[in-house]
Amino acid sequence: MSKTQGISIPKQWCNFLYDFPQYAGQDVPRGVALLTQGTRRVSVVPQQPLSLVTQSNSISEPYHEIPERLLELYSQYRPTPLRRARELERRLGANARIYYKYEGLNVSGSHKLNSALAQAYYYAKAGIQELVTGTGAGQWGTALAYACKLFGLRCTVFMVGASLRQKPQRRAMMELFGATVHESPSDATEVGRKATQKDPERVGSLAIATGEALEVAHGGKRVRFAVGSGENCVLLHQTLIGGEAVEQMGALGEFPDHVVACMGAGSNFGGVGLPFLRAARERERSVRLLAVEPAACPKLTRGLYALDINDFSGTTPINRMYTLGSNYIAPPIFAGGLRYHGTSAFLSAMLADKGFDAMAVPQREALSAGLLFAECEGLLPAPESAHAIAGALDLARKHPGDAPPKVILLNISGHGLFDLSAYEHCRSDTLAPDAPNEALLSESLRHVREFNTRITGASS
């Protein structure tokens, strides 16, 4: 059943900082910021117009109004459908009602367009002429390329090499909308050339791609870096997902016991889940959020909650977050959007207080869940979204048959039409090993610990 008719696009973004003001500020020891003065570390914040900075920091209002022009553009593909996975329920024989929100019905094929349109709008209003970004699996790069085209901005994208080679169609999509695309690490930047020395096979990581983008952005007067996930303003733009889903489930007389989404840096997870936390409080209900990450990049389940930088170059601010270290390069799994080494500072603080649950899923288990979902529901999910499906299946299978049925909502953040090779490898049992290299992981975590000891000691 699709539930979109009669449901309106939210006119406001849900400001979760109003609900959780204790997580609004960066928990960085006093004096650490001073250590960066005179170095190459430059905050991302001056790259942003005041509108986005305000959205990332304001705790005084429960909502932020969405400009009329953005509502017009959102109406091209929103509201997105909410469906009940009845055939999947029957196949599982589980004591659960499973719903899914589907974000793949736009030109980017994912939820990323929700923030790309907003950022392009605000940057264009600020007089910026070009946006530069890093992208993992390419959904964000595609979304930003399209948004820049609409608002008359140039666009430059650094895409993680392993993902670009897996999905060359993503490059074609970005170039279709006029973007310049570099395979990262590239020879176009100092960051890329240094990274290639450590990564001669050019597997790449989002930290490296972001570092390259930042280098280019800092080199031009009307050029700015656009961030695809992790920043509070990006999570804010994605609350369109949860805002619609709250209304859609309410129209069905339902409220979820669990909301499940995959976790990279956190945009689709926060976007679908945070509005339900507010709705639960207002309705005196309970809901539990579950973040599902790849076993290849397990920052929530095996990482450190520590001070770290967001990119390979060290030009981004120091944040406290769950991290594997910015030097960590995860195995080149097909879910490239989940290979980021760290997580949103806001969501990290929430997880540290046990505000939601997290689990890691191997690639084979995730893709197998995606195949089952496609067979049952006629929709091929992105490998990233397949991780969320695996998490929802785990919840459903573990729920006792003699208990009241569980209501589970999962977010399908994008389609998998560019990921057929991933599913073919899964079907033919030819997936490459995706377990982290334990020696490299240990080394990266050691660097994080040493970094924290050094900077906290120097700032005391």
Please state the domain extents for the chain.
79-109+232-455, 113-227
**pLDDT at position 165 over 70:** yes
| Residue range 146-159, pLDDT digits in tens | 999 999 999 999 99
Which is it for strands 130-135 and 154-160: parallel, antiparallel or unpaired? parallel
Of the candidates 349, 342, 271, 344, which has an alpha carbon nearest to the alpha carbon of residue 15?
271
Strand-pairing partners, residue 323, are: 304, 342
pLDDT confidence of residue 48? 86
- The whole-angstrom separation of Cα 311 and Cα 44 is 11
- The whole-angstrom separation of Cα 283 and Cα 300 is 29
How many angstroms from the chain centroid is the CA of residue 234?
9
Please tell me if the domain spanning 79-109+232-455 has the same topology as the one spanning 113-227. Answer: yes
**pLDDT at position 460 over 80:** no
Helix (H), strand (E) at residue 34: helix 32-35
Asked if the 113-227 domain carries CATH number 3.40.50.1100, the reply is yes
pLDDT confidence of residue 199? 83
pLDDT confidence of residue 42? 40
pLDDT confidence of residue 8? 87
Across 102-125, average pLDDT: 97
| Residue range 291-330, pLDDT digits in tens | 999 999 999 999 999 999 876 656 667 889 999 998 898 9
**pLDDT at position 18 over 80:** yes
Contact yes or no for 367/397 (Cβ under 8 A): no
Q: Which two tokens stand for residue 286?
A: 């309970």
pLDDT confidence of residue 459? 54
Mean pLDDT for the chain? 91
| Residue range 196-239, pLDDT digits in tens | 988 888 888 888 898 899 889 887 789 999 999 989 999 999 99
Bigger pLDDT: 261 or 318? 261
| Residue range 327-384, pLDDT digits in tens | 898 999 999 889 889 999 999 999 999 999 999 999 999 999 999 999 999 999 999 9
> How far is CA 86 from each of CA 78, 93, 187, 206, 269, rounded to the nearest angstrom?
23, 10, 50, 37, 23
Secondary-structure class of domain 79-109+232-455 per CATH: alpha beta
